[in-house]
């Protein structure tokens, strides 16, 4: 059964065959769950959202386009939307005011990279804290970009924004972390 290709799985799910669905869940559930649980700390909620992701995937399999993305990326996109909806229901999404401050001073990519690549334990500890304070979408962005090494185009697809816009957002997020590090120092 594990010899099934992604195309086979999609075809089987389209035909409503149980083995296709089971294979899809078995192959991608861990990744989807891992992505969700980083934003939704409650394991039960994360599990529920993972299940919902697959149920929605089964019912919307006809909208999947293999030319546009891989199956796992498509599943991540569904999971991301469900997760955002869940977070909106759970509580208001807070947009911190300091995001306006980041535009006050231009910082070059090199300067940012140097500041975020010191190798100092203290800096790593500070960044661990700061990531938690980021809004959900920025947290997702840095997680997918740095932790899962996803290319920006893929992240853009998952998050439903254009790659260029996402690149700007990544810059702003890095700058925000840089500014915070400098303030704390």
Partner 1 sequence: MNEKRYKDTDLREALRRKYADTPQLPADFMNNMERKMNPPMIRRWWWVAAAASFLLIIGIGLTMMPTEETAPTATKVVAKMEPQQSPVVVTSQEEPKEEVASVQQPVSKKAVKKQAKPEKYTPTAVSAIHPEDIHYASAEQTKDTLPYLNPARVDEFIAKMAAYNNVKQGELECTQPAGSNVVSSVYVFPDNKEIDVFGRLLQVACCYSDETPGYLLSFSHQQFFFELKDMREQLQYRWIAERVNGKILLYGTHAPLGTKESSACYQEYRDELMHIKSINKNPREI
SS3 114: helix
SS3 95: coil
Q: Binding string to partner 1 for residues 89 to 118, with x set by CB under 8 A, is what?
A: --------------------x--xx--xxx
72 interacts with partner 1 by CB under 8 A: no
* Binders in 137-166 for partner 1, by CB under 8 A: 142-143, 146-147, 151-153, 163
Residue 86's CB: how many other CB atoms inside 10 A? 18
Query: Shortest CA distance to 160 belongs to which of 70, 81, 64?
Result: 81
Question: For residues 7 and 164, which CB has a smaller minimum distance to partner 1 in the complex?
Answer: 164
Retrieve residue 58's tokens.
């089964």
Q: Which of 6, 58, 84, 134 binds partner 1 (CB under 8 A)?
A: 58
Residue indicated by tokens 């599943």: 75
Question: For residues 33 and 86, which CB has a smaller minimum distance to partner 1 in the complex?
Answer: 33
The span from the CA of 56 to the CA of 42, in Å, is: 21
Binding site for partner 1 (CB under 8 A): 18, 21-22, 25-26, 29-30, 33-34, 37-38, 43, 46-47, 50-51, 54-55, 58, 109, 112-113, 116-120, 123-125, 127-128, 131, 142-143, 146-147, 151-153, 163, 167, 170, 174, 177
């Amino acid at each position: 059964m594990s010899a099934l290709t992604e195309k086979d799985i999609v075809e089987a799910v389209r035909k409503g065959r149980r083995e296709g669905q089971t294979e899809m869940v078995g192959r991608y559930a861990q990744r989807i769950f891992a992505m969700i649980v980083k934003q939704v700390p409650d394991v039960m909620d994360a599990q529920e959202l993972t299940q919902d992701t697959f149920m929605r995937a089964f019912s919307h399999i006809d909208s999947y386009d293999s030319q546009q993305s891989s199956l796992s990326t498509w599943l991540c996109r569904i999971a991301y939307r469900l997760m955002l909806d869940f977070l909106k229901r759970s509580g208001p999404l807070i947009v911190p005011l300091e995001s306006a401050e980041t535009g006050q001073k231009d910082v070059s990519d090199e300067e940012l990279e140097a500041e975020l690549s010191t190798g100092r334990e203290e800096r790593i500890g500070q960044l661990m804290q700061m990531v938690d304070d980021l809004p959900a979408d920025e947290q997702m962005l840095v997680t997918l970009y740095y932790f899962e090494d996803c290319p920006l185009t893929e992240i853009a697809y998952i998050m439903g924004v254009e790659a260029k816009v996402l690149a700007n957002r990544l810059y702003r997020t890095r700058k925000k972390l840089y500014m915070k590090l400098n303030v704390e120092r």
